[in-house]
A and B are shown apart, each in its own frame.
Chain A
Amino acid sequence: MEKHTNANLVTSENDRFIALSSKGSKFDFQSKPNGSFKYKNQLFDFKVTHAEDGFTYIELNGQKYAVELVSVNQNKYEVLINSITYVFTVETPFSLKRKDLLKKQAPQSKVESIPAPMPGKILDVLVEEGAAVNEGDALLVLEAMKMQNEITSHIKGKVKKIFIKKGENVMKDDVMIEIERN
């Protein structure tokens, strides 16, 4: 007997996935069992090869592209194709729905403060108030335990306020910089 047939399972759609680019555009794909996929009602054949020269090539409908997988973190991919970087997440119809749902429910706080992870001395401040920063951008260099540590922004936004100066000492958890999310 076919189990749970009347359940409204999201898994019934598990051949559909969506690439959500960092700029917010969506690309809807339908994967086919033989490794090809459908995009905008067009069927694409594709093959991945690792060549001797160390590059990876994607063959798409006979066309060859050199690609480099820069990073993969969970479902977030950073891919380099023809020297252009593409950052995107791979979503399922449900995970996308969930994303929208949770965004509506809990608006994130606008200002994020960056506290000192350990006591130390500020060697250099690399940003100015008002500067736009991306996720992963270095904000300042903190020397602690005789080591230089680059403190990076974990969100994209604008530097709202800088509380520290070059050469100053900070204690653990002292707020060093505030960043306004955008």
Chain B
Amino acid sequence: MDVNGKLFKRYTSRYESYLKQYSRENTEKQHAKGKLTAIERIELLFDQGTFEEIDAFMTAAETNFGKSTKAFGDGVITGFGNISGRLAFVYAQDFTVMGGSLGAAHAAKIIKMQDMALKMGAPIIGLIDSGGARIQEGVASLAGYSGIFRRNVEASGVIPQISVIMGPAAGGAVYSPALTDFIFMTAKTSYMFVTGPDVVKQVLNEDVSFEDLGGASTHSKKSGVADFVFEDEENTILGLKRLLSYFPSNNLENPPFVLTDDTADRIEERLRDIVPDDANKAYDVRDVIKLIVDNGRFMEVAENFAANIVVCFARLAGQSIGIIANQPKVLAGTLDINSSIKAARFIRFCDSFNIPIITLEDVPGFLPGIDQEHAGIIRHGAKLLYAYADSTVPKITVILRKSYGGAYCVMNSKNLGGDFNFAWPSAEIAVMGPDGAVAILYRKELAESKDPAKLKKELAAKYREEIANPYIADEKGYIDEVIDPAYTRVKLIRALKALENKHVLTPQRKHGNIPL
């Protein structure tokens, strides 16, 4: 290159050899596995032409043991750019260089991004495709991980941190994603585990496949590690961009307002018929969500894990909201260990990033059972309770149907800190359901009755009429208003508007002691 008569020979030759790394051969190797290359993923992620790479020429530290790499970048591409017009930082591990393994230089690059993202108040995204710690670099690579973890924690609740697993993530590598806010996985080509199938075989003599041990389906259904699973990498990245659209760039900003053509005074009569008359019949609470939110669009988190609670992001009159809804269709909408943890973590995220929380409640109680009690439902249920009570963002509850016992208290009840508590006329608010209550209150009468079944039915009906309805709670002020279901959207939008400048002063303390 010849600019103003000066020779930039070294600049040019260095750049040429850098480009050679992105050879057709390496690209095809990734493609043959059904995976994209790191640079292709970055191209998909950022607005066209906005990505700027940093530390492209860093190389691996010298080692005396085993193979080393002279590849530029040391197996990770780092930089920044715009996603839908907003600044974001990224690190994308490159599996074609030393299997994307993490050495000292690799870690230093990631850490530089983390520090920058935190300083600039912008989200950081990790595109993970790595064989784990680079064995030849020994403790230096472990130190690298530790530095990354520390910064994950430092940035937690300050900037959104999202991990996208697009290949293997094994050993220590899984804990950085676990510390971030959300984990995406691409089905069939990504894995996460602390110890791989080979070690499991050696130690426990158990045969297990990669997919069964730590594939996307395992983590989305059984472990709850993965929040989002998409069928291919393009859709994974599209999903990530959609999720980001609900978030502010940092905890000092409010989420972006998105103009909507859905009117704020839309009356939705279909909501009146959605809850079945028979209290034992289920319905899909997602149908309720769809009818309330802007254009029926919402993004569900961890839809296949603890499906008895639905948590999702949506918008109301253009404002980002987080919704927590009991799902009567699954486990009757009871709260159990997994659903408590899932909802609690979601609330903590919303609270960190100024996203108001809307609770749609239809909960018969906590799930009874030996396994639940023994596995510590008391401990885990307390997480949800703590998360609700501790959060200071606007909090609104709508009781759709059942609201019984301890579960009433937990699901953002008035005295736990709900700002607005609404109920539909179909709401049943009481210490326990009609059948259980009648059996305790009229034990003697039922035992002596000639036709206990008939008497029980009569008493249950009376109980429903006199106790398990929303009107007593309304008259005592525990419910602010019993509303016509058709007006739910209208009421929620007005309540949110009223809460726009909600401000809560919390006492000085280092931090609370959430029952982890």
**Residues of A bordering B, CB below 8 Å:** 1, 3-11, 14, 50, 74-75, 92, 94-95, 97-99, 101-102, 106, 117-118, 143-150
- Decide if A106 touches B281 in the complex (CB within 8 Å): no
Cβ-closest chain A residue relative to B328: A147
Indicate which residue in B19, B234, B235, B280 contacts A5 across the interface (CB closer than 8 Å).
B19
Indicate which residue in A9, A98, A143, A149 contacts B232 across the interface (CB closer than 8 Å).
A98
- Which residues of B have CB within 8 Å of A92? 234
* Minimum C-beta distance from B230 to chain A (A): 6
- Which residues of A have CB within 8 Å of B331? 117-118, 144-145
Indicate which residue in A75, A99, A117 contacts B330 across the interface (CB closer than 8 Å).
A117
Residues 20-41 of chain B, each 1 if its beta carbon lies under 8 Å from chain A, else 0? 1011100110011010110110
- Which residues of A have CB within 8 Å of B445? none
Judged by a CB distance under 8 angstroms, whether B231 is at the interface is: yes
The number of A-B residue pairs with CB atoms under 8 Å apart is 96
- Decide if B261 touches A98 in the complex (CB within 8 Å): no
What are 25 of the A-B contact pairs (CB < 8 Å)? Answer: A1-B15, A4-B22, A5-B19, A6-B24, A7-B19, A7-B22, A8-B24, A9-B27, A9-B43, A10-B36, A75-B231, A75-B238, A95-B233, A98-B232, A99-B231, A99-B232, A102-B34, A145-B331, A145-B332, A146-B332, A146-B364, A146-B435, A147-B333, A147-B364, A149-B330
Cβ-closest chain A residue relative to B56: A3
Bound Cα distance A7, B491 (Å): 54
Bound Cα distance A7, B36 (Å): 12
- Decide if B282 touches A147 in the complex (CB within 8 Å): yes
Judged by a CB distance under 8 angstroms, whether B239 is at the interface is: yes
- Decide if B281 touches A148 in the complex (CB within 8 Å): yes
Bound Cα distance A118, B23 (Å): 53
Bound Cα distance A137, B367 (Å): 27
- Which residues of B have CB within 8 Å of A74? 230-231, 235, 239
- Which residues of B have CB within 8 Å of A11? 40, 43-44
Bound Cα distance A145, B333 (Å): 9
Judged by a CB distance under 8 angstroms, whether B433 is at the interface is: yes
- Decide if B19 touches A4 in the complex (CB within 8 Å): yes
Indicate which residue in A1, A4, A94 contacts B39 across the interface (CB closer than 8 Å).
A4
* Minimum C-beta distance from A25 to chain B (A): 19
* Contacting residues of chain B (171-217) with chain A, CB-CB under 8 angstroms: 188-189, 211
Indicate which residue in B34, B36, B211, B334 contacts A101 across the interface (CB closer than 8 Å).
B34
- Which residues of A have CB within 8 Å of B328? 147
User: With contacts A92-B234, A94-B234, A146-B435 known, is A9 near B40, CB below 8 A?
Assistant: yes
Judged by a CB distance under 8 angstroms, whether B329 is at the interface is: yes
- Decide if B234 touches A147 in the complex (CB within 8 Å): no
* Minimum C-beta distance from B261 to chain A (A): 7
Bound Cα distance A95, B249 (Å): 30
* Minimum C-beta distance from B441 to chain A (A): 18
* Minimum C-beta distance from B460 to chain A (A): 12
7 smallest CB-CB distances across A and B, nearest first, come from A145-B332, A147-B332, A7-B22, A98-B34, A95-B232, A11-B43, A8-B27
- Which residues of A have CB within 8 Å of B333? 147
Cβ-closest chain A residue relative to B25: A8
- Which residues of B have CB within 8 Å of A143? 280
**11 new A-B pairs (CB below 8 Å) besides A7-B37, A117-B331?**
A9-B43, A14-B44, A74-B230, A74-B231, A94-B31, A106-B188, A117-B330, A146-B433, A147-B333, A147-B364, A149-B330
- Decide if B43 touches A50 in the complex (CB within 8 Å): no
- Which residues of A have CB within 8 Å of B211? 106
User: With contacts A98-B232, A145-B334, A146-B280 known, is A8 near B28, CB below 8 A?
Assistant: yes
* Contacting residues of chain B (35-67) with chain A, CB-CB under 8 angstroms: 36-37, 39-40, 43-44, 53
- Which residues of A have CB within 8 Å of B189? 102
Bound Cα distance A97, B211 (Å): 21
Residue of A1, A8, A101, A147 with most partner-chain B CB within 10 A: A147
Cβ-closest chain A residue relative to B290: A71
